Amino acid sequence: MTHELTQLSDIVFRAGQNALAQKAGRVVEFKSDGSHVTNVDRETEIWLKSELLPVWPGTNTWGEEYGFEPMGENGLWLIDPIDGTTNFAHGLPLWGISVALMDHEGLRLGIIGLPELDVMMCAERGKGAFWNGELMASIPPGEIKSTSLVSINERVGRELPGKPRLSGAFVIDGAFTVRQYYRALFAVNEKLYDIASSVLAARELGATIAFLDGEPFNEFDWVKDVKIDRPWGIFPAGSQLF
């Protein structure tokens, strides 16, 4: 891992430990769309912004709780301060923090921290992906077997291969797919900050990231505050899905 990726990993690790320490005293509220939010979500995003911007000047932030900013001269931070907030609000350990840096060439750095699972997944464009500091092997190409575990959002609305699983937190499903606990992931209605770190890590390991009509996924199409409303996936190269 480069110094820059290690530095970012340390920031996300500390954010996760802070969130974990606050979990017992969390205050749960509801957004206008009925989804959960806690004081820890908001405080984590503020803390991350305060740590990231001085170290990476010329960058802006787009986070779930405090909204969209356009890309700065040196990039845009994509922040999901607590992904899996409903799990977090109910005391489940299946939640995490996702932070990615996108520049004018695309996704460049990405970290997923899963504090209660003791996992840090890190990726850097052209440098590979790492699981708790160890370089990860490429994702084996080939088909998705009917017996393989896959993460499938039920709203995808299409029959797909594998045995479906869904954790309630994209950081869990994304990280588990990159790690190949899950052979593939099929999703819809996320925003770019939800998925950025998983997409970068999967790319570094040779996976295909594409919409289910075969069009390749391009992050520049989704640097806007809208949901990705077309079914897409992370799956092994060579999978015959289209």
pLDDT one digit per residue (tens) for the chain, 242 residues: 999 999 999 999 999 999 999 999 999 888 777 788 899 999 999 999 999 999 999 999 999 999 899 999 999 999 999 999 999 999 999 999 999 999 999 999 999 999 999 999 999 999 999 999 999 999 999 999 999 999 998 788 778 999 999 999 999 999 999 999 999 999 999 999 999 999 999 999 999 999 999 999 999 999 999 999 999 999 999 998 76
Looking at the fold, whether 128 and 21 belong to one and the same domain comes out as yes
CATH number of the CATH domain containing 158? 3.40.190.80
Residue 140 domain flag: no
Looking at the fold, whether 118 and 155 belong to one and the same domain comes out as no
Residue 101 CA to residue 26 CA, distance in Å, equals: 28
Residue 142 domain flag: no
CATH number of the CATH domain containing 104? 3.30.540.10
Looking at the fold, whether 121 and 158 belong to one and the same domain comes out as no
Looking at the fold, whether 129 and 207 belong to one and the same domain comes out as no
Q: Which of 103, 135, 167 is the last residue of a domain?
A: 135
Range of the domain at 45: 3-135
Looking at the fold, whether 208 and 181 belong to one and the same domain comes out as yes
Cβ neighbours of residue 145 closer than 8 Å, sequence gap 6 or more: 161, 162, 183
Q: Which of 135, 157, 177 is the last residue of a domain?
A: 135
What does residue 30 show for φ and ψ, rounded to 5 degrees? -130, 140
Looking at the fold, whether 231 and 175 belong to one and the same domain comes out as yes
Looking at the fold, whether 32 and 102 belong to one and the same domain comes out as yes
Helix, strand, or coil (residue 4):
helix
Looking at the fold, whether 73 and 174 belong to one and the same domain comes out as no
Q: Which of 92, 111, 135 is the last residue of a domain?
A: 135
